[in-house]
Amino acid sequence: MMVVAWLGVAQVQAAPNQIAGLRVAPAPDKTRVVIDLSAAPTFTYFTLDNPSRVVVDLASTSDDADLALSGDSGSLVRRVRYSTPKNSSSARLVIDLNRRAEPTLFAIAPDGAYGHRLVVDLADSQPQAQTTSSASSNVLIDSASNTRDRDIIVAIDAGHGGNDPGSIGPAGTYEKHITLSIAKKLAGMFDAEPGMRSVLIRDGDYYIYPTKRPEIARKKKADLLISIHADAFSQPEPRGSSVWVLSMRRADSELGRWLEKTERHSELLGGAAEVISDNASERYLAETIIGLSMDHSMSASYDLSQKVIGEMKQITRLHKRAPQAASFAVLTAPDIPSILVEVGFISNPQEEKNLNWETFRERLARSMFNATKSYFSQVPPDGTLWAAHKERNRTHKVRSGESLSLLAQRYNVKVSSIKEANNLRNDVVQIGQVLTIPST
């Protein structure tokens, strides 16, 4: 009995690994190839040129699985095929490329619905330009000759994508499709609003690392980042929307990380970084500026999240009635106010049904749009069209003891300018009178 049991274990251990599937997910700057396996892989790889190829050797692995590509595999990967293996018990996979790419390979342990995987990330030697919504494609995002009266730029991040479907509803709905649909609807609303413009972090079904998403928003000069997700739970009962901001603990750790990397200070400080870096004793000034930037971003994020909750409660149930704090990587930009909106529980059958209803997704997008408009109408970013409009249309309600000369001093304008803007024939004002305050 002991001998038979030992032989059975030995046979199990000697059984070859099985390739269970193959998936390819293209992105603007890289393509990811995922090989699903029945057990943890043992692998080596090398590259070849003329033509460009990545060769992967899998030890103790059978080579009878279908490697045909399906769906959109992008322009980098031409095909995946078998080649002569190193020995009879291994499998050799060849990824034929249309151009050179730098590979990075790593194994992933089972997680949720996925088993063992070998991931091949191919950094494209000719990254494709990422497209944005049509309404914004003809507008320069950054121009040295146009530093004033620019658009307010809102970066919209559709959660998950590509090989990461996010949560999956009882009826099979993928979170990544819901978030992208809402993101595109929201982008269209911003692009149709004078003085506002959207940037989609991803505009197709591909994956971007969470830490890369705020970096894309910064490169696009975004004034705000909205990340859209759908919640899920192991039981179907929980439901409702919620809005999240960065936790104080994660904010402190991110701030410390930025301060340690002096070469990244210029990303936040611009030309001032060069002046500060010339004098080591002035380093504390950089720390102060970056700290203030983080404080402002967190405060702005909280204020906006309250407005989003106020709008969303009119169209859907709320899971949390106050902004929640968490350590989400997508919220870690120290210079960009950022919020994460959970539009509902896709694990709840009724909310999954709602999220599959286009009108409901439109309403969700509209609630985020209205909240953002309301927020920026009160505190528009300096140098934007909205800031110039607000400056031109300041008003003041006269209170007891106030005079034209006092108001002129407070707003740094001339008494004659206030009189002219309000068609006043003398210096007398009445309590409760609303005056237009002209720009300086």
| Any domain includes 28 | yes
The pLDDT of residue 37:
92
β-strands 30-37, 324-326: how paired? unpaired
| Any domain includes 67 | yes
Distance CA 174, CA 185 (A): 18
Position 150, amino acid:
R
Task: Decide which of 103, 124, 145 is a domain's last residue.
Answer: 124
Per-position DSSP letters for 93-148, written without gaps between them? EEEEESS-EEEEEEEE--BTTB-EEEEEEEEESSPPPPP--GGGTTS-S--TT--S
Task: Decide which of 76, 98, 124 is a domain's last residue.
Answer: 124
| Any domain includes 8 | no
Same domain for 246 and 220: yes
Tokens for 378? Answer: 């009160």
Contact 198, 187 (CB under 8 A): yes
| Any domain includes 192 | yes
How many whole angstroms from its chain centre is CA 294?
18
pLDDT tens, the chain, 440 aa long = 343 334 343 344 445 899 988 988 888 888 889 999 999 999 999 999 989 999 999 999 998 888 988 777 888 999 999 999 989 899 999 999 999 999 999 988 887 667 899 999 999 888 875 544 433 333 333 444 444 468 999 999 999 998 889 999 999 999 999 999 999 999 999 999 989 999 999 999 988 988 899 999 989 999 999 999 999 888 889 999 999 998 877 655 655 565 555 545 455 544 444 444 444 545 566 666 666 777 788 889 999 999 999 999 999 999 999 999 888 888 888 889 999 999 999 999 999 999 999 999 999 999 999 999 999 988 899 888 888 877 776 788 888 888 888 888 888 888 888 888 888 888 888 998 888 888 76
Same domain for 417 and 282: no
Same domain for 259 and 402: no
DSSP E strand stretches across 139-195: 152-158
Q: How far apart are the first and last CA of the chain?
A: 96
Position 66, amino acid:
D
- Number of domain units in the chain: 3
| Any domain includes 7 | no
The pLDDT of residue 126:
85
Same domain for 294 and 272: yes
Per-position DSSP letters for 298-318, written without gaps between them? HHHHHHHHHHHHHHHTTTS-B
Instruction: Residue 426: give its domain's CATH number.
Output: 3.10.350.10
Same domain for 349 and 244: yes
Position 323, amino acid:
P
Same domain for 260 and 406: no
Same domain for 33 and 179: no
| Any domain includes 3 | no
CA–CA–CA angle 389, 188, 196 (5° rounding): 20
For residue 208, the tally of other CB atoms under 10 A from its CB is 23
Same domain for 209 and 286: yes
Distances (CA, A) of 326 to 190, 323, 402: 27, 10, 46
Task: Decide which of 105, 124, 143 is a domain's last residue.
Answer: 124
How many whole angstroms from its chain centre is CA 127?
19
The pLDDT of residue 146:
42
Quick one: CA dihedral 57, 62, 64, 70, positive or negative? negative
Distance CA 43, CA 58 (A): 5
Q: Closest Cα to residue 231, out of 281, 175, 150?
A: 175
Instruction: Residue 20: give its domain's CATH number.
Output: 2.60.40.3500
H or E stretch including 214?
A: helix 212-219
Same domain for 210 and 80: no
Tokens for 119? Answer: 């991931």
Same domain for 214 and 318: yes
**DSSP assignment letter at 403:** -
Distance CA 50, CA 81 (A): 17
Contact 125, 101 (CB under 8 A): yes
**In sequence order, what are the residues at sequence separation of 6 or more whose Cβ sits closer than 8 angstroms to the Cβ of residue 421?**
435, 436, 437, 438
| Any domain includes 6 | no
Q: Which domain holds residue 406?
A: 393-437
Instruction: Residue 159: give its domain's CATH number.
Output: 3.40.630.40
The pLDDT of residue 30:
87
Same domain for 301 and 173: yes
Backbone φ and ψ for 189, nearest 5 degrees, come out as -70, -45
The pLDDT of residue 129:
57
| Any domain includes 92 | yes
Side-chain-side CA neighbours of 191 within 13 Å: the count stands at 20
pLDDT in tens, 400-431: 888 888 888 888 888 888 888 888 888 888 99
Same domain for 289 and 161: yes
